[in-house]
Structures are given as C-alpha cells and as structure tokens.
A = this chain, B = another copy of it.
C-alpha cells in the first residue's frame, strides 16, 4: 500500500514513472542493459539525455540563447558554484532574503566576494512576506541579484518572478517550485535547482543559464562546476548522474501528459486552495504567511498547542499520511504538495485535519 508522502524533498514521484522505471530496470528498450549500467557515451544514454533536455526546454519554453545544464550537488553546492561562476571581477552581488534557503545562499556567497543584503523579509525571526522590488537596495554594479523563488521551509513563494529595474541579471534558486507553473525564463539570467522536489532523484541539479553569462568563472572554480566547461561538454565533462537524468526525463514526459505546466498549475492551484481554505476556515490551524505569497508547494501550519503535534502526526501516520512534521528550525507542521501529490492526498489530509480539530478543538 502506497502512503501519501508529504515530504519536502526528496519527495513523492508520479506512480507511472516509478512503474516504468521498475519495468525497465534490467533491460531498457531491448538494449539488454538497465539505464544505470549504460555508458554515458553510448548511443542509448545519449538519446535519453537529449530527450530529457528537449522536454525540459519544451515544458519551460526555454529560449535558444539559454543553455540547460545537468549538474550535481543540489542547491547547497550551488550556493558556492553560483558566486564562483558569476561574481566575476566586480566581486559584488545582491541577495534578497525571503526565507531560510535564500539566507543560506547569502551566507555562503560571502566567502566569494561582497555579497550585499539588498532586502530581508525577516521579522521577529520569521519569514512571512516578500518586500516589493521598489524597496530592494539594488547595486547597479552588482554581478547579479539572487532570490529564492519558493522557500520550502517558510512556505513563501514569488507569485511572479520579480521584474528588476536595469540590466543586472536575476539569479534564482527555483528548486522547490520549478515545473509547478509556467515561468517566464527570460526574466532570469540563471535558474537553478535540486531535482528532488518536482523533477526526480536527489543528486541532480538543473541549471538554465543565459549564454552571455558563461565564461566568467573565478580561476579556482573546479572544472566540473564551471558552467562554461559544463556547457561546452553538453553536461558530460564529468560522468553525469545518468539514472537521475533518466528519471527526470520520465517525469518530464508525465508532465506533458498532465497538460504541461498550464495543466499541472491548474491541479496545483486546486490542491493549494483546498488546503489553505481548510486551514483558514478551521479556527484551529494557522498559517501566518501573507496570502499574496503563500507557497502552492509547501504549506506550513501550526496547531493551537504544540503539545498536540505528536498526536496529530501519529494519527496522520495511522491514516497513511507521512512526513508532515515541519522543518526543525520552525516547528509545527508542513505539507509539501508537489506535482506528484494527487488531489486525493490533499483531500485525505483535509478530512483528517477536520476530524482532528473537532476532537481537540
């Protein structure tokens, strides 16, 4: 019996993807090999890789002057790889902190140059809103402006990518909402994210970069993490995480079958509305994030009394709903409802939340 898995990542994957991966584990398309066993230079894997890149380009409508790179290390490694590749001789970048993840990015960047805090949404130790772009203290000489467009821990999401004044490129960690909604890639210089939320297995990092931003790496950048080297070698400078790329490709195909990003957005809006309405209408559960920037992917909420948390989680597990505990840094509950979470999972959660509130309210 499959559970409803509300993990923030690694996270639930679409069942049809897992079924296909299992069926092809020992023999991919009559090749006599599983994908995990294939040389990354062989014709079979080269086809798998090319299809994954093409599907991602199609889904996100990535223009031709952007390169799609498959790398490793996730967003935490990228926190260093981004400034190493982009800070350039200016050595200055602006960071906008709207939650725990952008705060980590800002901190790591300070090792590589002058990372300035252009805006912070922190109030009394919590992140619940996004300051308007007009309030950001932007440095026109910065190499880039960094944001995290969906904060997994705090449940804060940019409804639209910020529209920056001037020509400084926008760099965004999109790990936890990429492919959950249409996105105007041309607003960004670089988009990056770990795959383990909406794309596939942990260990794969997606980077989408405007070509003019290649070739600015600090001399100490490891070659395997130099965007230009990776781009020049079609993500095969070092052996790529082949199996993760294969799973990502299957997820991209599944997404097309859901009607692409417009289709999955409709499903995601329905799930998020159902859950937020249940919270707001409960008189019991509370989510304090500004409505304009509530995340559709990660929904944190608290119970009226912390002492009820253990009972809530236990009851959820008994009903086949797991990983609802909030991040240790903020406490409470968190339901991550990525693309692969079916509406039935949110319906089951909402029904249980009503039942629990009635019993303990």
Contacts and interface: CB of A to CB of B under 8 A. Distances in A.
Contact of A222 (B1, B12, B21, B81): B81
A191 interface: no
Given A10-B36, A36-B247, A39-B10, A77 B26 contact: no
A70 to B, nearest CB: 10
A259 to B, nearest CB: 23
Contacts of A240: 202-203
B25 A237 contact: no
Interface in A10-48: 10-13, 15, 18-19, 21-23, 25-27, 31-34, 36-40, 42
A202 B3 CA distance: 29
Contacts of A196: 239, 242
A160 to B, nearest CB: 28
B37 A26 contact: no
A342 interface: no
A199 B239 CA distance: 15
Interface string A202-230: 11100000000000001110111100000
A7 interface: yes
A347 B15 CA distance: 40
Given A26-B22, A80-B224, A223-B79, A10 B38 contact: yes
B79 A242 contact: no
A140 to B, nearest CB: 26
Given A2-B27, A36-B201, A84 B222 contact: yes
A173 interface: no
A239 B76 contact: yes
A201 B76 contact: no
B76 A224 contact: yes
Given A237-B76, A240-B202, A33 B322 contact: yes
A88 interface: no
A230 to B, nearest CB: 11
Contacts of A5: 32-33, 37
Given A13-B37, A74-B224, A243 B202 contact: yes
Contacts of A13: 34, 36-37
Given A26-B22, A241-B241, A1 B38 contact: no
A13 B111 CA distance: 41
B201 A243 contact: yes
A27 B19 CA distance: 11
Given A223-B80, A323-B39, A203 B241 contact: yes
A203 B11 CA distance: 19
Interface of A: 1-3, 5, 7-13, 15, 18-19, 21-23, 25-27, 31-34, 36-40, 42, 72-77, 79-81, 84, 108, 111-112, 194, 196, 200-204, 218-220, 222-225, 237-244, 247, 320, 322-323
Given A12-B37, A74-B224, 5 more contacts: A5-B37, A10-B39, A19-B26, A74-B238, A84-B220
